[in-house]
A = this chain, B = another copy of it.
Amino acid sequence: MPKVSFEKFRRAVLARSVSKDTDTRLSEIGIFQHAVRGEEVSLSGRTDQLVFLAEGSTKLVASDADDAEQVLAFHFAGDMIYVPRRNRGDFRLVALADCRIISFSANEFLDVAEQDPAVLRTILTRTLMALQRSRNKAIRMGRRSAQERIADFLLAMADRIGNDEGNCISLRLPMSRRDIGNSLGLTIETVSRQFTELRDQQIIATSGRSIVRLYDLAELAVRAGHTPPPQSKSEICAGSKNDRQPLAIAAAESGV
């Protein structure tokens, strides 16, 4: 049994728990798995699942009639992911890179957690963050223009997996242009054209398929439609630059 995964899970989720019993029981009902890049994570579709992503990255997709799949969320190491059971719709969790995961039946997990309110509360807090993130995605998709959606997407990714390199923030995006399009409700061509446009304007740079460097976060925020209306009140200006920050930290923390 992969101790490494559970150790990460312990630190991320059980931190507040005092009960050794909870620890033991969760390690017993958890199912430890690997998934290789591109492969669907095989989960029981019979019950709602709670999945801890110890390593790697995934996308949660809703497959629809036709061929179109909607990407609901991307996840990274340390996230907890709620995957509804089959009859609530056709949801699939797909590995974007090789993954190590621990999956639980949501009910079994909660039955254990109910004996240990601190754990229950941690899960609730993470779920609220997930809700927050899902709402932010809804905001992103509500934006009419492709430019706004892409800019906001890049900022959201910067919050989650960006590396500060001084003059820029660099990202290694594990998802394809198609995934980005399916996540944002755009076609792959439109995504590509928006990247090109941002690249031509030196706001971003790309290298290879997956590396993106963001050179002008402020300008990206403008493109994303953030930033309050140009200094409606002067005192607001000082704080406005950091408006995303609190959310950024929250977003970097957790999942479900």
0/1 interface trace, chain A 108-125, chain B, CB 8 Å (1 if under): 001001110110110110
Give chain B residues whose Cβ lies under 8 Å from the Cβ of A143: 70, 185
Residues of B within 8 A of A256 (CB): 131
User: Known contacts A117-B120, A124-B123, A228-B65; is A131 also within 8 Å of B82 by CB?
Assistant: yes
Given A134-B134, A138-B141, A121:B114 Cβ within 8 A? yes
Could you tell me the distance in whole angstroms from the C-beta of A45 to the nearest C-beta in chain B? 13
Q: A110, B124: Cβ atoms under 8 Å?
A: yes
A185 CA / B182 CA spacing, docked (Å): 16
Q: CA–CA, A117 to B76, complex, Å?
A: 29
A226 at the interface (CB under 8 A from B): yes
A229 → chain B closest CB, angstroms = 6
Q: Is the CB of B138 within 8 A of A72?
A: yes
With A127-B128, A138-B141 as known contacts, state yes or no: A88 contacts B246, CB within 8 Å. Answer: yes
Asked whether A65 and B229 contact (CB < 8 A) given A120-B124, A143-B185, A247-B89, the answer is: yes
Quick one: which of A144-192 are within 8 Å of B by CB? 144, 182-185
| Size of the chain A interface, CB-CB below 8 angstroms | 55
| Cβ-closest chain B residue relative to A229 | B65
Q: How far apart are the CA atoms of A154 and B59 in the complex, in Å?
A: 28
Which residues from B are CB-within-8-Å of A65? 225-229
- A227 contacts which chain B residues (CB < 8 A)? 65
Q: Which residues of B lie under 8 Å from residue A121 when comparing CB positions?
A: 110, 113-114, 120
Q: Given A138-B137, A138-B141, A132 and B88 touching (CB < 8 A)?
A: yes
Interface residues of A (CB under 8 A from B): 48, 62, 64-66, 68, 70-73, 82, 84, 87-89, 106, 110, 113-115, 117-118, 120-121, 123-124, 127-128, 130-132, 134-139, 141-144, 182-185, 225-229, 243, 246-247, 250, 256
